[in-house]
Structure 1
Amino acid sequence: MISSARPAARRFAALLGTAVLTLAAAGCGATTGAGSATGEVTSITALDYYTDATEHAQWGERLNACGRTVGVKVEHTSVPGTSLIPKVLQQASSRTLPDLLMLDNPDLQQIARTGALTPLDRYGVDSGGFTEGIRSAGTYQGKVYGLAPTVSTVALFYNKDMLAEAGVAVPRTWDELRTAAQKLTRPGRYGMALDANAGFEGTWQFMPFLWSNGGDETRLDSPQAAQALRLWVDLVKSGSMSRSVLNWDQSDVHDQFVAGKAAMMVNGPWRIHAMEQAENLHWGVAPLPVPRAGLTPVTPLGGEVWTVPQTASKERQEKAARVLACLNTPDNMLTLAKQYLTVPSRSAVAARYAEQVPSMAAFVRSVENARSRTARLGVKWPAAATGIYIAIQSALTGEQTPEEALKRAQQIATRS
């Protein structure tokens, strides 16, 4: 996925600004990248941030399997997530970009803006059957530059035994969530847990509450935004949620839930494998509660898109695009989704997947209405995301009211 902690928006913006100027001066619209512009192409390069040994090997196998279908070997390299964007910007400036590049979906627009990527319609890559949100995650200025074989989002996990013991139904609305969290709270256990840390993960977990209430990242000082943040404040003030959420990341939230110290949590499907290994843990998962009955939750899209950078060889670009298309076939989507417990990006494949993997059904339903974080603000998203997590911290500590905190968030979002 997902929405792991990423470099500070200000540092990223500085790097990006330098890259834009460098690329403009170098005439990026011509060609960048490594590789011979003539001769038969027998190998291409690919770059991602799958540095875990097992995951790196699995993706290497998948890339080479697709490579064999188009007659190339894929030389696969992974770098740590925090290093990927600086490396890509440096490669763009020095014209040494890989042939196939994976990006966390919120980063695509900022890299496409530099001219370092090529639109996929140039190669006839099929982008049909994707939801609007998923297509949006790979789109810049109306052109599709990246496609994600699978995506992820968040939902509500709950401890079945704890809810049954307390006589609590799975909450579907915010009022039900408040009531359920309070009834489930007792010494040594909180009713609810989520990630409200001072980073992009905190913002990621807040977005469903903002969006589902009709709020918008373009107007962070709206009443709808304040109501969403007020819900989190109320959960902490009532004692239904630990004040420590200010410091927890998503793995900490998971640990609290598995240890029986939280009866419900907001988290993603990437935690399911670990929960399945926990003894005597009987859990369920449902879409996140909404402000009022009848509304549909709107959650953020997590996941990575694969792109074809500008390089010196059109032949290599064509081969890379064919590998990218292979990764996005229905069969490969289904295989990857089952392997990593993510959601296939094509709606028809996702529907089959929900039937085959019932524990993922809630995530499949949520993805249908999920939204790209850059859909409204594009390259200005990081500034808004920073303002949001600062507001969360201020409101949950009591430093400011939700209204005051979000007014400052709006100022931060519009400052850049």
Structure 2
Amino acid sequence: MKTSWARRAIGAGIALTVGVALTGCGTSSGSSGAVSGGDYTGPTVNISFWNGWTGGAAPVLVPKLVDKFNSEHKNIKVKDVPQEWADIAAKMPLAIKAGKGPDVAVLHGDDLATYAAQNLLLKSDDIVKSLGYSADDFPKGVFDKGNYKGAQYAVPWSVTPLGLYVNKDVAAKGGVTDVPTDEKSYTAALQSLKTAGVQGDWVDSYVFTGTFQLESLIWQYGGELFNKDVTEATFNSDAGVKALTWMKSMIDDGYSPANVAQDGNIKALLAGNTAFNWNGVWQTTNSAFDGLNWEAAPVPQIGTEKAVWSSSTHWVFPANKGQDKNKTAAAATFVKWMNDNSAGWAATGELPGDNKVRNDASLLEKYPNLKPFMDELDYAHYETVAPGISEATATITTALSEALTGKKTPKEALDDAKAKADKILEQNKAKYGD
């Protein structure tokens, strides 16, 4: 995840007989630089791997995964280069253009199109095909996030949906023993808690987690954030107004205090001041939960449809100036091995994207708290794919803040945000092309 507190069979399996030559890379001696479904067999190479996991996920990435890969592949040495996600966004485009970028990297779903539109990533259709991947190998909708203008640029790595965290001791104060699943039971639980002097659901106006909760609700009410070709924002629809009005009602009805600070809701849950918090799967590894009587569940269905926000992360192959084909082929072997061995990544509070790994019964035996989040993947919604989309989606957070603080009505806030987002989308079209 793009925040410090959130982060975010051995080998390549049965080798495919086909070897697919890479295109768009520089040449290298000693091998054709072909990618195959099996292990890389070319000359010894050192490859660099850029990622944003600098916090609690780092000890899982290295040594438990990267070092293990290196020990099993004598002709590939992967150098892990962790950086803050913001630093990657600032540095990687320039580094790739100068031929000094990584050989493999991880990006979030809403970044992929921006990089692809600037020709910073290798078109990876042949790589993906050779590794044996298709959309059916990942949760519904995730694989397509790596597709831009008909070409595939990425391989999914992980997904991170929201869920409902429950402090069971606090819930019991209001006589709430069953986790609410819909608007009726959720409101009833909040009212019971209010009667007992507890504000049961603290809503905030920050990306983590207020924006993600709002987006989930927009989808639950049948809305979309943008139109199909992402030329116009649509989050100010009736669905959007209903969603934001519902969040504002948490404050108006006394179920939430006003002006909740960033991370104030999860801190309140841990401190025993509230019963419910919509938060990401990454919190399942939060050591502050140790000793707390808690459980996680799918987010309640407030609207007419089941829906929940989720982020996604993806492997990409940068198109460095003069990129070595052998290094890209070795990077592909690394990606396949990492996905095949991604069960251990669940220790970071992220769900492995590979269906075979994630659906193996042994994963839930080791990490039982992941089950409600896994159950949500059938109806999860992921990031919008369009160049420069992050700036446009940021207007949703502005609307949320304006509505929750009473500066504007939900409709006014969303209409104003839509106008700003549309201008940004128009600018993006001029900047990145059709």
For the aligned pair, the TM-score class normalised by the smaller chain equals 0.7 to 0.9
Say if 2:52 is the partner of 1:44. Answer: no
Determine if contact 2:200/2:274 at 8 Å carries over to the other structure: yes
Note the C-alpha offset of 1:105. Answer: 2.5
The answer (yes or no) to whether the contact 1:119–1:145 under 8 Å persists in 2 is: yes
1:390 aligns with 2:398: yes
Aligned CA distance change for structure 1 residues 361 and 328 (closer, same or farther; 3 Å): same
CA RMSD of aligned residues (A): 2.6
Matched, 1:125 2:131: yes
- Within 5 A, what are the aligned runs for 1:142-157? 142-157=150-165
2:382 aligned residue: 372
Change (3 A) 1:94 1:188: farther
- Partner Cα distance (2:411, 2:419) in 1: 13
Q: Could you give the per-residue CA deviations for residues 110-149 of structure 1, whole angstroms, max 9, x where no partner exists? A: 1121111123332212323112322123332333322233
Q: Distance in 2 between matches of 1:248 and 1:110?
A: 28
405-414 vs 178-187, greater mean Cα deviation: 178-187
Aligned AA for 2:412? E
Which residue among 160, 171, 178 is the counterpart of 2:187? 178
Distance 1:202 1:55, change over 3 A: same
User: Compared with structure 1, are the counterparts of its residues 5 and 242 closer, same or farther at alpha carbon in structure 2 (3 Å cutoff)?
Assistant: same
Whether 1:167 and 2:175 are equivalent positions in the alignment is yes
Structure-1 residue corresponding to 2:275:
263
CA distance in structure 2 between the partners assigned to 1:93 and 1:46 by the alignment: 17
Residues 221, 187 of structure 1: CA spacing in aligned structure 2 closer, same or farther, 3 A cutoff?
same
2:414 to 406, 409, 416: 406
C-alpha displacement of 1:81: 1.9
TM-score with structure 2 length normalisation? 0.80
What amino acid does structure 2 have at the position aligned with 1:176?
S
Partner of 2:262: 248
- The equivalent residue for 2:372 is 362
The question of 1:320 aligning with 2:335 is answered no
Task: After TM superposition, give the deviation of residue 409 of structure 1 in Å.
Answer: 1.5
User: Which of 84, 88, 94 is residue 90 of structure 1 equivalent to?
Assistant: 94
Distance 1:341 1:56, change over 3 A: closer
Partner-residue secondary structure (3-state), 1:116: coil
Change in Cα spacing, 1:409 to 1:4, as seen in structure 2 (3 Å) is farther
Instruction: Supply the distance in 2 between the matched residues of 1:248 and 1:88 (Cα, whole angstroms).
Output: 29
Aligned mates of 1:158, 1:200 — CA distance in 2: 17
Listed as ranges, the gaps of 5+ residues in structure 2 are 7-22, 31-42, 227-233, 425-434
For 2:229, the equivalent position in structure 1 comes to none
What is the CA distance between 1:276 and its match in structure 2? 6.3
Contact 1:200 1:389 in 2 (8 A): no
Q: Could you say what secondary structure the match of 2:141 adopts?
A: helix
State yes or no: 1:109 paired with 2:120: no
Q: Give the one of 38, 47, 72 matched to 2:76.
A: 72
Residues 341-381 of structure 1: per-residue CA shift (max 9 Å, x gap): 32221334333334653311110011232122124xx2253
Q: CA deviation at 1:271?
A: 1.7
SS across alignment from 1:153: strand
**Matched residue, 1:301:** 310
- Kept in 2, the 8 Å contact 1:99–1:316? The answer is yes
Cα deviation code 1:69-117 (max 9, x no counterpart): 4421111111112211111111123121111111122211211211111
Are the aligned partners of 1:152 and 1:303 in contact in 2 as well (CA < 8 Å)? yes
Structure 1 or 2: more helix by fraction? 1
Q: Work out the CA distance in 1 between the residues paired with 2:155 and 2:195.
A: 45
Identify the range of structure 1 (54-63 vs 89-98) with the bigger mean alpha-carbon deviation.
54-63
Look up the match of 1:9.
Answer: none
- Whole-angstrom distance in 2 between the partners of 1:184 and 1:403: 29
Q: Is the 8 A contact 2:168 2:294 kept in 1?
A: yes
* Cα distance in structure 1, aligned partners of 2:164 and 2:190: 12
**Aligned equivalents of 1:386, 1:4: Cα separation in 2:** 19
Q: Partner residue of 1:237? A: 252
Give secondary structure in 2 for the equivalent of 1:190. Answer: coil
Amino acid at match of 2:132: D
- Does 384-393 or 119-128 show the bigger shift? 119-128
The match for 2:285 is: 273
Residue 187 of structure 1 and its aligned partner are, at CA, apart by 8.0
TM-score by length of 1: 0.83
Q: Give the Cα–Cα distance (whole angstroms) in 1 for the partners of residues 343 and 5 of structure 2.
A: 27
Partner amino acid for 2:106? M
- Shift in alpha-carbon separation, 1:5–1:384, aligned structure 2, 3 A: farther
Number of the residue aligned with 2:350? 342
Match of 1:56?
Answer: 58
Contact preservation (8 Å) 1:120, 1:146: yes
Alpha-carbon distance change, 270 to 118 in structure 1, aligned in 2, over 3 angstroms: same
Match of 2:300 in 1: 289
